Amino acid sequence: MKLLLTFLFLATTACSVCSADDRPNIIVIMADDMGYADAGFTGATDIQTPNLDALAASGVTFTSGYVTHPYCGPSRAGLMSGRYQQRFGFETNPAYDPSNPYLGIDVNETLFPARLQKAGYRTGVIGKWHLGASAPFHPNNRGFDYFYGFLGGGHDYFKIDLRQPVKEGYTEALERNGKPAVFDGYLTTALSNDAAEFVNSSSGEPFFLYLAFNAPHAPLQAPQEAIAKYSHIKNEKRKRYAAMVDVMDAGIGTVISALEQNNLRDNTLVFFLSDNGGPQSTKSKPTSWNGSSNDPFRGGKGNLYDGGVHVPFIASWPARIEKGTVYPHPVISLDIAATACAIASGDSKLPAELEGTNLLPLLNDQTNVNRERYLYWREGGVRWSILDSKRVKHLQDSTDRPAELYRLPEDVAEQNDRIEAEPEVAEQLRKEWLSWNESNVASRLGNYKGYHALRDQFFLDSIPKGAKEEGYSPVPIPTFK
Name the residues annotated as catalytic: 72, 130
Q: E strands, 358-419, where?
A: 374-379, 383-388, 392-396, 404-407
Per DSSP, the residues of 451-462 read HHHHHHHHHHHT
Q: E strands, 249-319, where?
A: 268-274, 313-316
* Phi-psi map region of 282: left, alpha, beta (phi>0 left; psi -120 to 50 alpha): beta
CA-nearest of 240, 308, 286, 261 to 70 is 308
Calpha distance 259→261 (Å, rounded) = 6
What 3-state class would DSSP assign to 38?
coil
CA angle at 410 for the pair 405 and 6, rounded to the nearest 5°: 115
Q: What share of the chain is helix, strand, coil (3-state, %, to 5)?
A: 35, 15, 50
Decide if 221 contacts 240 (C-beta within 8 A).
yes
CA angle at 248 for the pair 242 and 253, rounded to the nearest 5°: 125
* 94 secondary structure, DSSP code: P
Calpha distance 290→309 (Å, rounded) = 16
- Give exposure, 233-254, as e/b (b: 16+ Cβ within 10 Å): beeeebbbbbbbbbbbbbbbbe
* 349 CB neighbour count, 10 Å cutoff: 7
Read off the amino acid at residue 327: Y
Read off the amino acid at residue 107: V
Decide if 405 contacts 418 (C-beta within 8 A).
yes
Alpha-carbon distances of 85 from 77, 257, 330, 409, 479, rounded to whole Å: 6, 34, 19, 28, 36
Decide if 332 contacts 359 (C-beta within 8 A).
no
What 3-state class would DSSP assign to 274?
strand
Alpha-carbon distances of 5 from 21, 64, 139, 343, 392, rounded to whole Å: 27, 20, 40, 22, 28
